[in-house]
Amino acid sequence: MVSPGESPPRLQTSIDRKSPIPYYVQLKHALSQGIEGGHWKPGDRLPSEAELCQLFGVSRTVVRQALSEMAYEGLVVREKGRGTFVAEPKIRSRSLVHSLVGFYEDMAERGLPPVTKVLEQAIVPASQQIATSLELEPMTPVIKLVRLRFVQDEPIVLVSSYLPYDICPKLVSADLTHQSLYAFLRQECGLSLARGRRRIEAVLANDHEADLLQIEKGAPLLRLDSVSYLEDGTPLEYFNGVFRTDRSQFEVEIDRSRGAAGRSVQAMDMGQEETWLG
């Protein structure tokens, strides 16, 4: 990226017609380099298909294929009747497996101060699903905590957590607007999560999720369901979170020496969850 006050490099517009690399791949590379180099910034409109044809001396088919691949990779957003725009960069996290840094610390280090909007914080009777997940009797009091998490004033993830009331009654009145849930549990309740089991699936946004996350109904989301445990095996939290896929990116590191990949993803150190969900 171009540093503040520095002029972006000149856009490379030549196509090597002797190269075995397809024209659309060369065009895609040139446009991607233009975005990376700061020639176009997030939200900027790219030249029209006709303008790109003239600029690079290629056919409309080549232009459309290049733009389609860039849209698939999340580099641009194509809007019918309006054109093609540079996408906002995705917020990268390794929290699924390898991050040991909390959400606030992780985002603050990147210059992206996070904000949490607490939508619900109350004592409710455990449903059958929640009771089963937390190994409780149905109707046992649990604390329900629903949070909408923002980065750069944009909603990124909607998280619902359920914790046994008897284990952490102080949580009912805790102010979590600018505080990590897991930090509060450690510091105020003396509770540290030791491990967790997580399920990941792709879902479509319902009306409620779409409204809160400011996306279209039916937009793709990444859903995480998890149960978190204390060192002695006591379930402390059941949560489900839905992430905007257009603004989130997760990295997973595979280490064969740690055994089967399925086991290493499902059973993980709870410090790794704090990046987005704590």
Task: Give the total number of structural domains in the chain.
Answer: 2
Is 10 within the bounds of a domain? no
Closest by alpha carbon to 131, among 241, 234, 238, 225? 238
Domain that holds residue 69: 23-86
Mark whether 146 and 67 lie in a shared domain.
Answer: no
Do 224 and 241 meet the contact criterion of CB atoms below 8 Å apart?
yes
How much is the pTM? Answer: 0.68
Mark whether 124 and 241 lie in a shared domain.
Answer: yes
Mark whether 118 and 216 lie in a shared domain.
Answer: yes
Chain segment 197-250, per-residue pLDDT in tens: 888 889 999 999 999 999 999 999 989 888 989 999 999 999 998 988 887 766
Decide which of 55, 86, 117 is a domain's last residue.
Answer: 86
pLDDT recorded at residue 264:
40
Residues in the chain where the model's pLDDT stays below 70: 1-10, 90-110, 113, 249-278
Mark whether 235 and 107 lie in a shared domain.
Answer: yes
d(CA 198, CA 227): 7
Is 193 within the bounds of a domain? yes
d(CA 7, CA 206): 43
DSSP-assigned beta bridge partners for residue 249: 92
Mark whether 169 and 56 lie in a shared domain.
Answer: no
Mark whether 55 and 97 lie in a shared domain.
Answer: no
Is 16 within the bounds of a domain? no
- Domain of residue 79, CATH code: 1.10.10.10
Decide which of 42, 70, 86 is a domain's last residue.
Answer: 86
Q: Where are the alpha helices (DSSP H) in 193-273?
A: 207-213, 261-266
At which residue do the structure tokens 């791949």 appear?
A: 25
d(CA 238, CA 159): 11
Is 116 within the bounds of a domain? yes
Is 121 within the bounds of a domain? yes
pLDDT recorded at residue 96:
45
pLDDT recorded at residue 106:
62
